[in-house]
Amino acid sequence: MLVIKLAKIIIGSRGSKLALWQAGWVRDALSKLRPDLEITLQVIKTEGDARHDLSPGAFGREGIFTAELDRALLDRRIDLAVHSLKDLPTRLGQGLALAAVTERESIRDVFIITSERAEQLGITKTTPAREALARLPHGFKVGTSSLRRVMQLKYLFPKLEFAPLRGNLDTRLKKVAEGRADAVVVAEAGLNRLGVGPRGHLFIQLTPDWYLPAAGQGALAIESRSDDPARAVAFLLEHAPTRAAVTAERTAMAALGAGCRVPAGFLATVDGERMSVSGVVGDPEGNKLIKADAEGKAAQAEALGKALSDDLLRQGAGEILKAVRG
């Protein structure tokens, strides 16, 4: 049998500051484990990055941040692609594999307002999150393009208003400073990875006891060709508990036909051999919100995800999602 000796790996990444940090982290981690390999980065431009004027939902399909990377893999221009797992479609293209899932960073979202505005509203860093958001006045405008974020916040705090807002973190905070939004909501994992602190803003953590993240949030996905030796190299960064958790979350999302651009949130946690998984689906207008939970063995992650989706569907999640899709 012919054995091909791997000498070089090219990692593909989007060009944003966060994407490059993530790909660089994977490169450095793999280089420590496989110093015999030459590992380099290559930036791949994606449609989602090129059209900041459009909300993710306006594209009408998944994969707006991943399709070009998939093509680069299949064309053998790159050997691995690094994604935020929450952006990766649940169904990969033929010939592609989810080679590794890294250990999860924070799963929380963070609600960010200026320190000056927070002081005016009597909100401090010790104010409980739900109490802080309850103090926001009618018409307070939150910048986000995520229906998942909108539906949960609108249901709990109906006086809030929402405006589509995309771009990197600096761009979003600049739009708050310019008055185009009173606050923004972003993933805490990105803040932590880039080492971004409050810098004149108040960070309010939205915790999973009342607000759920996106499926796979906080984890990195390393994608490869199914039959490529680079797949085994990527697997060196595999974190089994995170893989089990995100498998349950992504199974539930796929069973709902939800995709990553609709009003649904999921979170699974692993404790030894046990797993608990929660899900929420809601109307973006804040009129209805459905929750469900499932618990069982972590080794049965797919079955737990399916049980969760079945419960949500019994409660009417299908009708909500159908209405959103139009």
Element (H, E) at 109: strand 109-114
Confirm if 204 and 157 have CB atoms less than 8 A apart.
no
Instruction: Identify whether 70 is a catalytic site residue.
Output: no
Strands of 264-271's sheet in order across:
264-271, 274-282, 289-297
Phi, psi of 197, deg, nearest 5: -105, 180
Tell me, rounded to whole angstroms, the distance of Cα 72 from its chain centroid.
Answer: 22
In the chain, the N- to C-terminal Cα span, in Å, equals: 54
Angle subtended by helix axes 240-255 and 301-314, to nearest 10: 30
Confirm if 282 and 290 have CB atoms less than 8 A apart.
yes
Cα distances from 293 to residues 53, 153, 304, 311, in angstroms, run 37, 20, 9, 8
Confirm if 245 and 270 have CB atoms less than 8 A apart.
yes
User: Which token pair is 126?
Assistant: 């010790």
Instruction: Single out the catalytic residue among 87, 109, 182, 283.
Output: 87
Tell me, rounded to whole angstroms, the distance of Cα 133 from its chain centroid.
Answer: 22
Positions marked catalytic: 87
